[in-house]
């Protein structure tokens, strides 16, 4: 299979909120800052000049990536595509803009950006469903199990319900603003899963499922006040909240400031607050002042990114 005639390809894969409170491991949302800033990882690909594959790392958080190239998720994605088709050596640049272990789908972003870019480079042999399966398998190697609540929204955009490999985009409130705050702490998804019990009480599982059903139904009927009420996590958050520095206090403060719902993004430490246009700036200001623990902390006021991760030829 020949390489695309485009001089180079660039893909932005957006950050995402996994779990989304009521949807443990099955519900995720893609994010886009209201100020237009980049919030996700970028992969750029061009043909190699020396006949050998080369991976370059850039971006604020690239210093936290593994030093061994073969351990990099983008490199692993390249090896997967080399098993699919033959193509010339490539120079790949990963702009690592998301912190590792942040709860923002950082690993999923790198994988999705690489997979979409590589698929475009070799004239798209993989369908969207096949890309989703490949990305889920690679991301599962990081988190310890395959769950698509970060991969799917990063790839497809929007609010996505994942049932195995079957993913369905749901309606979202166009007026929602999601304030996401990263404290600067690094937390491993695999480690945080280890803190969960081997099983949950049946009554809690039934309650979570009923709230998930209620959330979906309320959203389909555009009853957004009711949908916000159903954004509660009875399974993972009670175990994880005490382990995340400052979360319990910040959650209460955001609710008192008018947030409609507050939750842990993925495994944390990033938290999110569902707000309207009036409360979002107030919640943002409080989190900026009170939730960060080091210089890596940040807060973003976002809307739902509805568009998928797509390849484009960058302007020179």
Model pLDDT, residue 38:
95
Q: Which two tokens stand for residue 79?
A: 């090896």
Model pLDDT, residue 188:
87
Q: Which two tokens stand for residue 141?
A: 């190697």
Closest CA to 279 of 247, 263, 248, 255: 255
3-state secondary structure of 290: helix
Strands 54-58 and 90-95: parallel
The half-sphere exposure of 23 on its side-chain side, counting CA atoms within 13 A, is 26
Give the residue ranges of the chain where pLDDT is below 50. 1-2, 5-6, 315-316
Q: Which two tokens stand for residue 174?
A: 């166009």
pLDDT tens, position by position, 109-146: 999 999 999 999 988 899 999 999 999 999 987 766 67
What's the CATH number of domain 8-170+305-312, 3.10.180.10, 3.50.50.60, 3.40.50.1980, 3.30.230.10? 3.30.230.10
pLDDT tens, position by position, 201-227: 999 999 999 999 999 999 999 999 999
Cα distance between residue 97 and residue 73, in whole Å: 15
293, 183 contact by CB (below 8 A): yes
Closest CA to 118 of 5, 7, 11: 11
Domain ranges across the chain: 8-170+305-312, 177-303
Strands (E), the chain: 8-14, 16-17, 27-33, 40-47, 54-58, 90-95, 159-163, 166-170, 177-182, 261-264, 271-275, 298-304, 311-312
Q: Which two tokens stand for residue 158?
A: 């929007």
Q: Is the dihedral of CA 136, 141, 146, 151 positive or negative?
A: negative
DSSP state of 10: E
**55 vs 47, 58, 170, 225, 307, CA distance in Å?**
12, 10, 36, 47, 27
Model pLDDT, residue 313:
60
> Please, what is the end-to-end C-alpha distance for the chain in angstroms?
27
Q: What class does CATH assign to 177-303?
A: alpha beta
Closest CA to 267 of 97, 48, 101: 101
Model pLDDT, residue 315:
42
Residue 204 φ/ψ, nearest 5 degrees: -70, -40
Q: Which two tokens stand for residue 180?
A: 């996401």
136, 167 contact by CB (below 8 A): no
| Burial grade of 233 (CB within 10 A; 0-12, 13-18, 19 or more) | buried
């Amino acid at each position: 299979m020949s390489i695309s005639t485009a001089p180079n390809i660039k893909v932005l894969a957006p950050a995402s909120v996994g779990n989304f409170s009521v949807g443990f491991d099955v519900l995720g949302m893609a994010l886009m800052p209201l100020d237009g800033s980049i919030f996700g990882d970028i992969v750029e690909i061009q043909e190699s000049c020396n006949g050998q594959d080369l991976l370059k790392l850039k971006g604020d958080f690239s210093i936290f990536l593994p030093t061994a190239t073969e351990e990099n998720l983008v490199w692993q994605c390249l090896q997967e595509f080399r098993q699919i088709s033959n193509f010339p050596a490539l120079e790949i640049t990963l702009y690592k803009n998301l912190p590792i272990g942040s709860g923002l789908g950082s690993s999923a972003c790198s994988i999705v950006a690489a997979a979409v870019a590589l698929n475009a480079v070799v004239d798209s042999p993989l369908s969207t469903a096949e890309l989703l399966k490949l990305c889920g398998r690679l991301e599962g190697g990081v988190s310890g199990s395959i769950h698509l609540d970060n991969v799917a929204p990063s790839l497809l955009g929007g609010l996505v319900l994942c049932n195995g490999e079957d993913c369905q985009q749901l309606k979202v409130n166009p007026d929602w603003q999601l304030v996401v705050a990263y404290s600067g702490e690094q937390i491993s998804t695999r480690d945080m899963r280890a803190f969960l019990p081997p099983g949950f009480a049946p009554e809690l599982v039934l309650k979570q499922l009923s709230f998930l059903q209620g959330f979906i139904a309320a959203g389909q009927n555009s009853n957004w006040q009711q949908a916000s009420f159903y954004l509660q996590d009875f399974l993972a958050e009670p175990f994880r909240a005490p382990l995340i520095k400052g979360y319990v206090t910040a959650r209460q403060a955001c609710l008192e400031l008018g947030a409609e719902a507050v939750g842990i993004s993925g495994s944390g430490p990033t938290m999110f607050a569902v707000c309207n246009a009036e409360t979002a700036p107030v919640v943002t200001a409080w989190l900026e002042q009170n939730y960060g623990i080091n210089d890596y902390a940040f807060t973003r006021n976002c809307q739902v990114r509805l568009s998928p991760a797509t390849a484009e030829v960058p302007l020179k």
